[in-house]
């Protein structure tokens, strides 16, 4: 399997720049139900980015990776169809409730929040119809652990974990202390798109 160069984008402009720099795929947060509320992109952004991606033979993914409440299911279903009409190539999701919805015929990728951290979880995701799985962060921090997991898999399950290079800007101004998790803010909904601290400038 060829190496995939994947880049995040906060808007269509960043996504187009990533394509011009050689990204094979770009992902952006959906208007709603993305893990970063402040980085949601409008459908017009997806339409513009997908048009550009076709010129480069690249793909565009949309993240809908929060946990849903029951009253949100219908809005999430409608948004998935809107994103399909905008031309996205796959949906990156966390909540398995999406599997019970009438979704468009798009590939499903399991997000890192789906805690894909072992062979049993990969087997479950493969059986549920996912075509990709993004390793849990604790696995990705230790490359050897991720490679051991891939090596333990066979066939369709192994195909869920492609070799991927994930591009992210990691620049930090001189003298700036590393960002540390802060206390939870009153009213913040865990895994509902409101992170405990904002992303650094330029990060989606």
| Residue 59's CATH number | 3.20.20.80
Examine the pLDDT at 145 and tell me if it is beyond 70: no
- Distance of alpha carbon 63 from alpha carbon 177, whole angstroms: 29
State the pLDDT confidence band at 160, using cuts at 50, 70 and 90.
low
| Paired residues of 23 in beta bridges | none
- Residue at 90 is within a domain: yes
According to the model, what pLDDT value does residue 63 have?
93
Q: Which domain holds residue 112?
A: 4-166
- Residue at 46 is within a domain: yes
- Output b/e per residue, 37-57; b: 16+ Cβ within 10 A: bebbbebebbbbbbebbeeee
- Residue at 187 is within a domain: no
State the pLDDT confidence band at 45, using cuts at 50, 70 and 90.
very high
State the pLDDT confidence band at 138, using cuts at 50, 70 and 90.
low
By the 8 A CB rule, do 40 and 29 touch?
yes
- Residue at 197 is within a domain: no
- Distance of alpha carbon 112 from alpha carbon 17, whole angstroms: 24
- Residue at 199 is within a domain: no
Average pLDDT rounded to a whole number, residues 64-84: 94
- Residue at 15 is within a domain: yes
Query: How many distinct structural domains can be found in the chain?
Result: 1
Q: What is the pTM of this model?
A: 0.74
- Residue at 113 is within a domain: yes
């Amino acid at each position: 399997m060829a190496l995939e160069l994947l880049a995040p984008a906060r808007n269509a402009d960043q996504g187009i720049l990533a394509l011009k720099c050689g990204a094979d795929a770009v992902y952006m947060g959906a208007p709603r139900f993305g893990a970063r509320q402040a980085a949601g992109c409008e459908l017009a952004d997806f339409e513009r980015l997908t048009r550009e991606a076709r010129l480069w033979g690249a793909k565009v993914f949309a993240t809908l990776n929060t946990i849903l409440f029951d009253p949100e299911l219908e809005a999430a279903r409608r948004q998935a169809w809107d994103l399909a009409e905008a031309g996205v190539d796959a949906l990156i999701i966390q909540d398995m409730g999406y599997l019970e919805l009438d979704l468009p015929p798009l590939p499903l990728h399991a997000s890192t929040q789906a805690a894909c951290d072992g062979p049993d979880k990969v087997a479950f995701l493969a059986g549920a119809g996912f075509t990709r799985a993004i390793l849990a962060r604790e696995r990705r921090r230790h490359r050897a652990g991720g490679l051991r997991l891939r090596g333990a898999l066979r066939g369709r399950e192994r195909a869920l974990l492609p070799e991927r290079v994930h591009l992210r800007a990691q620049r930090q101004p001189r003298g700036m202390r590393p960002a540390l998790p802060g206390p939870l803010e009153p009213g913040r909904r865990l895994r509902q798109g409101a992170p405990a601290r904002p992303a650094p400038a330029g990060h989606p």
